[in-house]
């Protein structure tokens, strides 16, 4: 069995997950990355996407809209701007996430980054079939 690491996921609204995992697949701004036990300490920004966590109970997936991931040899802590378990995501919830991103894009001085966030959420819609 692969070595485990502690995984924690929190958003401003609630703590979504805290359990032992063997790998965490992270939608980082610089590209997708996978963290496993013994990973070099890293802090990365998140882009909108699906965060996948492999643990004893199988793979769990969460939709995140941004935030940060702190990765260490013994654990991964994700502080998400917004996060929803993928199995709880509905078309209406995804529409609300896209609407929030569009509102933020309208006032964000970094137009390219804001537009990319909206595009990432729309790509996630296609990937999830919602």
Is residue 17 located within the same domain as residue 77? yes
Is residue 14 located within the same domain as residue 47? yes
**Over the stretch 77-112, which tens digit does the pLDDT of each residue have?**
999 998 999 888 888 888 888 787 777 767 767 777
CB neighbour class for 124 (10 Å; exposed up to 12, middle 13-18, buried from 19): buried
Is residue 49 located within the same domain as residue 75? yes
Is residue 15 located within the same domain as residue 34? yes
**Over the stretch 44-83, which tens digit does the pLDDT of each residue have?**
999 988 999 999 989 999 999 889 999 999 999 999 998 9
Q: What are phi and psi of 91, to 5 degrees?
A: -55, -40
Is residue 78 located within the same domain as residue 102? no
Report d(CA 73, CA 61) in Å as an integer.
Answer: 22
Half-sphere exposure of residue 117, counting CA atoms within 13 Å on the CB side?
25
CATH number at residue 16: 2.60.15.10
- Indicate the number of domains in the chain: 2
Q: How is residue 51 written in tokens?
A: 């965060």
Is residue 65 located within the same domain as residue 17? yes
Is residue 69 located within the same domain as residue 16? yes
Is residue 35 located within the same domain as residue 92? no
Report d(CA 56, CA 115) in Å as an integer.
Answer: 37
Full domain range(s) for residue 60: 5-85
Is residue 27 located within the same domain as residue 67? yes
Report d(CA 33, CA 106) in Å as an integer.
Answer: 29
């Amino acid at each position: 069995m692969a070595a485990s690491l502690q995984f924690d996921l929190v958003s401003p609204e609630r703590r979504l997950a805290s359990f032992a995992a063997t790998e965490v697949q992270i939608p980082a701004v610089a590209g997708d990355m996978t963290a496993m036990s013994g990973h070099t300490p890293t802090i990365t920004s998140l882009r909108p996407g699906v965060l996948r966590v492999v643990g004893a109970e199988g793979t769990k997936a969460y939709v995140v809209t941004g935030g940060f991931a702190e990765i260490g040899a013994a654990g991964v802590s994700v502080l998400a701007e917004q996060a929803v378990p993928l199995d709880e995501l509905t078309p209406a919830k995804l529409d609300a996430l896209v609407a929030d991103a569009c509102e933020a894009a309208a006032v964000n001085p970094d137009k390219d980054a804001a537009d990319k966030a909206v595009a990432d959420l729309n790509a996630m819609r296609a990937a999830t079939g919602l």
